[in-house]
Amino acid sequence: MQACIIGLGLIGGSMALSLKKNGFIHRAVGVELNPIHAQKALDLGLVEEVVSLEEGIQNSLLTILAIPVDKGEALISKILDQIPSESVVTDLGSTKYGICKAVQNHPQRGRFVASHPIAGTENTGPEAAFDSLFEGKMGIICDPEVSDPDALELIKSLYLSLNMTLSYMPSKDHDLHLAYVSHLSHITSFALGLTVLEVEKDEKNIFTLAGSGFASTARLAKSSASMWVPILLQNKTHLLKVLDEYVRFMEDFRKGIMEEDHQTLQSLIERANGIRRILEK
Amino acid sequence: MQACIIGLGLIGGSMALSLKKNGFIHRAVGVELNPIHAQKALDLGLVEEVVSLEEGIQNSLLTILAIPVDKGEALISKILDQIPSESVVTDLGSTKYGICKAVQNHPQRGRFVASHPIAGTENTGPEAAFDSLFEGKMGIICDPEVSDPDALELIKSLYLSLNMTLSYMPSKDHDLHLAYVSHLSHITSFALGLTVLEVEKDEKNIFTLAGSGFASTARLAKSSASMWVPILLQNKTHLLKVLDEYVRFMEDFRKGIMEEDHQTLQSLIERANGIRRILEK
């Protein structure tokens, strides 16, 4: 099978590489508007050919969208308008409610499977792609009941071919949960990076004094704006609520420190330690 | 040389193990008030003997304090009162201004070297100790000019024996810089852990949906309250300032999302991306 990969960055590029490696597809064509990325993707062998959107989707039985979530939402109807009737489209973006809503009444809705591989790094572009990115990770499929059974089966086998574990949920729930466990931690990392960079005048001090703890906490601050601004905006409602809750805890810490309230700080940290239950499962 | 290690947790235990392994000391005796930790440290061979404070410091040429920073500050004068005149004391705590101030007029001040190995993990207790914790890491020595030259030399060679790189700074500057690059990131991690745990009712969702980014950002939320409450309180002045700056950036994100201000969010994230310059050095 030939797949058309729209967007040849970390996610799209890694998908092309790993699906060719495991034989799920035999050939990948790419759609990529950035000519430098397009050339790089060809040089790196991520795809065999870079083609126009129309050519790519009309000649492939599988189309995989791996572009920023606002672009995916804007494009999905047009793609469903033009694909052959037996073709299947999936989207790998980090928010799912918007794109599902955009095509809820589309006559070809059944050919679309909304999914989200919980995998990524803080790096971007075709050079960041690698063929084991998805290995052993979790894949989420949203609103599976509105996809055609054969389309759903194809995307399920795609994920399973990558040794991924599947989970299913409504797209709305997906976005709420992701606000907590992914989008919030990106914002906290961005704010940490900003605070340290803008206030610590001598970057040598950051480099000298930062231990592995800082590196770990600030790692996500390297993540790309073109990918993350659309995610934050698409998940606005949930994120505003989550941010308020987070800032409230920061204020609790501030008050505890200000008032030298040993007991409150102790209790906050001990409650936070509960994260071990999850991280060490 | 025999060293007396006060506090047989991750840091003290790792110090005992690694200094014995590289031959810097030939024997370690420990002072540990928690009888379970004391027994564990003996079982694990971290120290050869557990002794009283008096016995330990009076019979060792080197005393290493590795206890919570408030305890160290409370104990340091008593230790300097009792050590043999040729003995050297160092403290490995994460704040340095308080302990240096506590002994600034002590007649034995010259025997004390304030230091801080930038190394650690989110785990605690004797079982968390391992002999390569300090390998290749940074060691800070504060206010070196008020230590006796021979005492300073001994602690410098201790750090160098562990293949650590040394840096020197006033204790006050140390605490300010650490507020940015270490203490703040612990608080942001604690708050992240709290937010996720207290709002996401079904922990299965956190486990299913959390990717490596969340694990990385929330890792420090596992850190121990008994170690961190004293650090936060000792570094109160700097931390209140740092927390205000951090929360201001969180508010910028909140406002950017609320007003769907693509440009502001883009600019915030791009500025945060500058952290690459430091993390990838």
pLDDT at B221: 93
Q: Is the pLDDT of residue A203 over 90?
A: no
Residue in the structure block whose two tokens are 């994460």:
B94
Q: Report whether pLDDT(A147) > 90.
A: yes
Residue A218 tokens read as 């600030």
- Give the end-to-end CA distance of chain B in Å, rounded to a whole number: 38
Average pLDDT over residues A142-170: 97
pLDDT digits (tens, 9 = 90+) for B87-113: 999 999 999 999 999 999 999 999 999
Name the range with the highest mean pLDDT among A176-185, A193-202, B247-256: B247-256
Which has the higher per-residue pLDDT, A206 or A177? A177
- Identify the band that residue A213 occupies on the pLDDT scale cut at 50, 70 and 90: confident
Q: Among partner residues A137, A239, A273, which is closest to B221 by beta-carbon distance?
A: A273
Min Cα–Cα distance to chain B from A249, Å: 6
Q: According to the model, what pLDDT value does residue A281 have?
A: 66
Which of A8, A79, A1, A18 is CA-nearest to residue A49? A8
Q: Is the ipTM of this complex over 0.95?
A: no
The pLDDT of residue B118 is above 90:
yes
Between CA B122 and CA A168 the distance in angstroms is 33
Instruction: Measure CB to CB from residue B275 to each of A178, A181, A218 and give the nearest one.
Output: A218
Tokens of A240: 């505003």
Q: What mean pLDDT is reported for chain B?
A: 95
According to the model, what pLDDT value does residue A89 have?
98
The mean pLDDT of chain A is: 95
User: What is the total residue count of chain B?
Assistant: 281
Q: Do A222 and B275 touch (CB under 8 A)?
A: yes
CB A102 within 8 A of CB A86: no
Higher pLDDT, A181 or B83: B83
Higher-pLDDT residue of B66 and B204 is: B66
Distance CA B210, CA B206 (A): 5
Listing DSSP states for A33-87 in one string gives S-HHHHHHHHHTTS-SEE--HHHHHHT-SEEEE-S-HHHHHHHHHHHHHHS-TT-
**Residue-wise pLDDT tens digits, A216-263:** 889 899 999 999 999 999 999 999 999 999 999 999 999 999 999 999
Neighboring chain A residues of B220 at a CB cutoff of 8 Å: 213, 216-217
User: For position B278, what pLDDT does the model report?
Assistant: 83
Does the beta-carbon distance from A251 to B247 stay under 8 Å? yes
The tokens describing B269, both together, are: 């994230």
Cα atoms in the Cβ-side hemisphere of radius 13 Å centred on A59: 14
Q: Which residues of B touch A200 (CB under 8 A)?
A: 177, 180-181
CA distances from A272 to A248, B56, B191, B219 (A): 14, 36, 7, 10
- At B199 the pLDDT is 79
Q: Average pLDDT for residues B28-55, to the nearest whole number?
A: 97
Give strand pairing partners of A168: A141
Cβ within 8 Å, pair B194-A268: yes
Q: At residue A92, does pLDDT exceed 70?
A: yes
Strands across the sheet containing A88-91: A49-50, A27-31, A2-6, A62-65, A88-91, A112-118, A138-142, A165-169
Q: What is the DSSP letter of B9?
A: S
Tens digit of pLDDT for each residue in B160-204? Answer: 999 999 999 999 999 999 998 899 999 999 999 999 998 777 777
- The pLDDT of residue B281 is 66
Relative to beta strand A112-118, strand A138-142 is antiparallel
Residue A159 burial (C-beta neighbours within 10 Å; 0-12, 13-18, 19+): buried
Which residues in chain B touch residue A218, judged by CB atoms under 8 angstroms apart? 185, 275, 279
- Is the pLDDT at A202 greater than 80? The verdict is no
CA angle A244–B268–B178, rounded 5-degree value: 80
High-pLDDT (> 90) share of chain A, %:
87
Mean pLDDT within A29-47 = 97
Residues 6+ apart with CB under 8 A from A32: A6, A7, A8, A38, A41, A50
Are residues A177 and B152 in contact, defined by beta-carbon separation less than 8 angstroms?
no
Phi, psi of A114 (to 5 degrees): -85, 125
The whole-model pTM stands at: 0.90
- One-letter identity of residue B227: M
Which of B207, B213, B219 is closest to A185 using CA atoms?
Answer: B213
DSSP character for B181? Answer: I
Q: Which of B251, B261, B211, B244 is nearest to A187 (CA)?
A: B251
CA of B22, closest CA in chain A: separation in Å? 23
* Enclosing H/E stretch for B152: helix B149-161
Residue with tokens 């070297």: B113
Please, are residues B252 and A225 in contact by the beta-carbon 8 Å criterion?
no
Check residue B45 and give its pLDDT. Answer: 97
Residues of chain B with Cβ-Cβ distance to A190 below 8 Å are 249, 253, 268-269, 272
Average pLDDT over residues B15-34: 97
Q: What is the pLDDT of residues B121-135, one digit of tens each?
A: 888 999 999 999 999
